Amino acid sequence: MTDRPTPSGRVVVTGLGGVTPVGTGVETFWPNILSGVSGVARITLTDPTPYSSQIAAEVKDFDANDWLDKKEARRIDRFIAFAVGASTMALKDSGIELTDELRNEFGVLIGSGIGGLTYLGEQHRRQVEGGPDRVSPFLVPYMIADMASGYTSIVHGLKGPNNCVVTACATGANAIGDAYHIIKRGDAVAMLAGGSEAPINEIGVAAFCAARAMTTSRNDDPEGASRPFDKDRDGFVIGEGAGVLVLEDRDHALARGAKIYGEVVGYGLSGDAYHITQPHPEGDGAIRAMKMAFRNAGITPSQVGYINAHGTSTYYNDKLETAAIKSVYGDHAYKVPISSTKSMTGHPLGAAGAIEAIFCLLAMRDGKIPPTINYTTPDPECDLDYVPNVARDADVEYAASNSFGFGGHNVCLIFKRGS
């Protein structure tokens, strides 16, 4: 192996890949997001009848056979297949040539909040019905969350840093931020980074229903169920999917003439140290994560032209995220467009932050801000500009994305528009 090139200290995004409830691939999901298309419908991946929440944002147009050997596609957990599909799209989009030398400098950091929940549920059923000898020897490797990264690295032959982040709903954003630091310090030239999740099965739906975290009032109106910042919100809609970005040292990207979607300029993370599921009542952790991101980016909040909010459609999250944005952004909080794309994708848990980072980069590229659909009844406690119902044209040089997770994990990413 040759000596590793001197890092530029700057990290850019050169490839995007996504599997979402509103489409697989940028060319499919991005027009749907801008058009306000909802991916929420009655659950089909399991029988929803027993559950208090019977709707979800499922991925409808993904076929694992398109991305994997047919035998493997049939066997592995859905979250691994999503990760491989999204990473393959991102690599193709980047136009990068994977030479033997580069593969040694190319890493993978794709996280999952839960991992192979579907495979675990299926194997548990086999044990109950037929005894321990019926359990597959593949249960452990196809269940553990790090296999999104591990399997992806094997498929593409990437031998650089290989890691996994598990920080609940902040996972995808944490993975991007950590991969950014790996490249910035010179431990890799490029990274596949993001998150993948497939939690829509019997135990996944039952668990979140038991936690009383999901909406139950709109089983007969799935497309109107996810309504972030709206006064009538009553819980999130569970989703699934994957988002993967190619992050690359800027000098390396420029030398090969790569198109650049944007630059990662700020990454902030913090812990609430408060409660296992509820956010801090004063938004303390969210505030500190955002302030850290701005400090690292070397810009002020007034320079941000778009915020992709965590915006889960739960009472406390939306209220406290609004308060945290006001605290950090000051008067600019009332001027900056904010949207929650979870109104369309539902909440893909560990994949959410990565999918939403992709939306930020595309918003800057195209000068178009996604809407928050289902915003019909203003909430006095959520009184900012949430880009209600219709996308908006805007010149955005910097975009910020917030992600918060159970356990008190808080992440803020800041991107600068590419050139």
Mean pLDDT over each residue of the chain, to the nearest integer: 96
Task: Indicate the pairing of strand 106-111 with strand 190-197.
Answer: parallel
- Catalytic option among 252, 310, 409, 412: 310
Answer yes or no: 347 catalytic: yes
pLDDT for 126-150, tens place per residue?
A: 999 999 999 999 999 999 999 999 9
Average pLDDT over residues 64-83: 94
DSSP class of residue 393? E
pLDDT for 76-93, tens place per residue?
A: 999 999 999 999 999 999
pLDDT for 198-234, tens place per residue?
A: 999 999 999 999 999 999 999 999 999 999 999 999 9
Nearest to 195 by CA among 226, 167, 236, 235: 167
* Positions of E strands within 206-356: 241-249, 262-271, 304-308, 338-339
pLDDT for 23-43, tens place per residue?
A: 999 999 999 999 999 999 999
Q: What is the pLDDT of residue 4?
A: 65
Question: What are the respective helix, strand and coil percentages of the chain, to the nearest 5?
Answer: 40, 20, 40
**pLDDT value at 307 more than 70:** yes
**pLDDT value at 1 more than 60:** no
Q: What percent of the chain has a predicted confidence (pLDDT) above 90?
A: 96
Average pLDDT over residues 274-290: 94
**pLDDT value at 3 more than 90:** no
Contact 356, 340 (CB under 8 A): no
In this prediction the pTM is 0.97
**pLDDT value at 266 more than 50:** yes
Measure the CA–CA gap between 372 and 68, rounded to whole angstroms.
35
pLDDT for 321-330, tens place per residue?
A: 999 999 999 9
Q: How many CB atoms lie within 10 A of CB 70?
A: 9
Answer yes or no: 252 catalytic: no
pLDDT for 170-184, tens place per residue?
A: 999 999 999 999 999
Measure the CA–CA gap between 163 and 146, rounded to whole angstroms.
7
Q: What is the pLDDT of residue 8?
A: 86
Answer yes or no: 412 catalytic: no
Contact 218, 55 (CB under 8 A): yes
pLDDT for 210-219, tens place per residue?
A: 999 999 999 9
- Catalytic option among 164, 169, 360, 382: 169
* Structure tokens belonging to residue 279: 């956010």
Q: What is the pLDDT of residue 6?
A: 86
* Structure tokens belonging to residue 168: 């609940």
- Catalytic option among 209, 252, 280, 347: 347
